[in-house]
Every structure is written in structure tokens, then in C-alpha cells.
Amino acid sequence: MICKQKYIDDETKGEHEEHMKILYTAEATAHGGREGKVQSSDGNLVANLRVPKEMGGPGGEGTNPEQLFAAGYAACFQSALMLIARRQHVDASQSSVTAKVGIGPTEGGAYGLDVELHVAIPGVDAATGEKLVEGAHKVCPYSNATRGNIPVRLVFEQ
């Protein structure tokens, strides 16, 4: 499947179209919103959802959309990191990525997200690590989807 997408470029403020060959489409259905459950179409993901106590909910057993987003972003970003490291002939096999996803009200009364990615690559110096993290941020699909939409901070940890 070829998907024709219309983008607004942050730098030029102009519109352009990009064609992308879709390699895989994930599908999940939610019932009951933040107090319900979600399930992928193949049944590999089934999760009960609960509003965290910090947001006025009961907390308890279950996850929430922010945790699911954090898990997806962390996994995707680490894959991008491994790709960039391999291209630079750097061993990042012991790397880890921790995504912190915050949610809160925006000035307009809506809600927005905030992301902080903590990246550790044992045995890699700060200059090389930061370069790899910046490269991963350019190719990671989650980074590309969020760029210009939500704040994303990158933290390289030694």
C-alpha cells in the first residue's frame, strides 16, 4: 500500500506531499476509554486501562495510554539507535532507552504530552553517544511523528 500524506513543513511553513510505502499496519481497538481496555487485532496485546491516581483516577491494576506510548517510543527509538550505531560501526548492543511521557493541561484547555528520552550506551563516550542519539532522533518514526507537535528532550547518560 502506498500512502500519500500531506505535511506542513515546520521550517518553511509550506505544504508538501510525501509518498510512503506502508510496510506494516498495527491495529488496536479501545473500549471504555481510559477506564476500559485495549486489544490489538491479532490478540497479542490485551490490556486493561486505568486512570492514574495523579490524574484523579483510582490507579491500580492496568496501564494507561501514556505508558503504552512510552513503551512504544522507547522500543522504536532504541531500534533507530541500533541502526545508526551499526552504520557508524559502534557497538550499541547493550544500550537502553527509557521514555518518560508526561501529560497535562495546555493553555487552551486541551491536554498535551511531553517526552524525555534517556539513552545509555555502555562503553561509548559522551560526544559519540550524543551524535548517535541525534541521528536516531532523525530516523525514528515516533520522533518524526512528534517533531513540532510535542516537546521531546534527549538525555545521553554515561
What pLDDT was estimated at residue 19? 75
The rounded distance, in Å, linking the Cα atoms of 83 and 90 is 10
How far apart CA 72 and CA 79 sit, in angstroms, is: 11
Taking only the tens place, the pLDDT of each residue in 4-20 is 555 445 555 555 566 78
The predicted structure's pLDDT at residue 20:
83
What pLDDT score does 24 carry?
A: 95
pLDDT at 96: 98
What's the CA gap between 7 and 103, in Å, rounded?
Answer: 25
Q: What is the pLDDT of residue 46?
A: 97
What does the pLDDT read at residue 79? 98
Return the pLDDT at 3: 52
Using one digit for the tens of pLDDT, what is the confidence trace for 67-95? 999 999 999 999 999 999 999 999 999 99
pLDDT at residue number 104? 95
Q: What is the pTM of this model?
A: 0.87
Please give the Cα distance from 50 to 59 (Å, whole number).
Answer: 6
Domains of the chain: 64-158 (3.30.300.20)
Res 92: pLDDT: 97
Low-confidence ranges of the chain (pLDDT < 70): 1-18
